Amino acid sequence: MDKELSDILKKANKDNKEQEQAAPPKIFPPNDPYDYLVFTQLTRFSGFQKLIFLIIIPGGISTLFFFDNMSTTALMCLSIYGALLLVYLLINYFRFQKFKGWQERLPFALIGFTEMIRTKKMFCDLCWNHTRINVEQTKSDPEIEQVIEAALKLFCKRSEMAFYTQKIGSSSKHYRNDWKLTSPLSAEGSANPEVMRYMKDLFEKEFTIIAKKTSAIKSVKVELFSEEFEVRIQIDSGD
């Protein structure tokens, strides 16, 4: 066989062998619903960014030492920053302790949210599932049903803040669905960890108020009806 033709065959066989020997996808262990990672994803202003808090900010303040007559100011700023950081860490610690068991403290049964946490890659806001929220009333009450519908509408509106622009040419063929009501007692859409934070707000705020005032909410069920898929963030090249 001609050498150039033979080289084409060898190259194709090499590529096939590399694909066969590719490492299998990494399997992540399920998340504990009350571990610290889940806390930082479901609670605002709770993430401790070590690079920012321990290097960038102190480093920026320390540059004052290079200026004449600024050493005292630099020391004072570092002292104030250290005190504020300590207060933040203490507050965050108590917030984390309060976070534990929040589902069990709800005045209604929350079904499926723990399973959602265990299933999802909670560390990655780029990972999504198509999701459904369904409310079961203790008894049919059209007036309370309207209030539940209004609470779901508020959640749908809030969830829009988590929907960044999809990158063209993303590795995923899936597309996120905006949240919308499918009935007065249910809503569907796509969810990543940030949307789950808005779900938690819905459960702890509006639904809790309704349940405590009326005892009308028997349970809230969260269901995933798709595999997890990735949607990358679009980066504007300026072209």
- The SS3 of residue 66 is helix
pLDDT band at 116 (very low <50, low <70, confident <90, very high): very high
Between CA 198 and CA 38 the distance in angstroms is 14
Between CA 181 and CA 140 the distance in angstroms is 18
Q: What mean pLDDT, rounded, does the chain reach?
A: 84
pLDDT band at 17 (very low <50, low <70, confident <90, very high): low
Q: Is the predicted pLDDT of residue 18 greater than 90, yes or no?
A: no
pLDDT band at 184 (very low <50, low <70, confident <90, very high): very high
Higher-pLDDT residue of 198, 168: 198
Reported CATH class of domain 109-230: alpha beta
Per-residue model confidence (pLDDT) at position 169 = 43
**Sequence-distant contacts of 139-144: CB under 8 A, at least 24 apart:** 139/216, 141/214, 141/216, 144/210, 144/214, 144/216
Per-residue model confidence (pLDDT) at position 1 = 62
Of 189, 207, 236, nearest to 110 by C-alpha is: 207
Q: Where are the alpha helices (DSSP H) in the chain?
A: 3-20, 36-42, 50, 57-62, 71-99, 113-119, 142-159, 193-204, 206-214
Mean pLDDT value across residues 184-191? 96
Mean pLDDT value across residues 111-120? 94
Per-residue model confidence (pLDDT) at position 89 = 87
The string of DSSP codes covering 137-187 is: ESS--HHHHHHHHHHHHHHHHHHGGG-PPBPTT-S--------EEEETTEE
Per-residue model confidence (pLDDT) at position 236 = 54
Q: Please give the single-letter amino acid code of residue 120.
A: K
Element (H, E) at 52: none
Q: Is the predicted pLDDT of residue 181 greater than 70, yes or no?
A: yes
DSSP 65: G
* Cβ atoms of 193 and 124 closer than 8 Å: yes
Per-residue pLDDT reduced to its tens digit, 126-167:
899 999 999 999 999 999 999 999 999 999 999 998 887 655
Per-residue model confidence (pLDDT) at position 22 = 46
Lowest average pLDDT, out of 11-25, 110-124, 177-191, goes to 11-25
Q: Is the predicted pLDDT of residue 47 greater than 90, yes or no?
A: no
Per-residue model confidence (pLDDT) at position 186 = 97
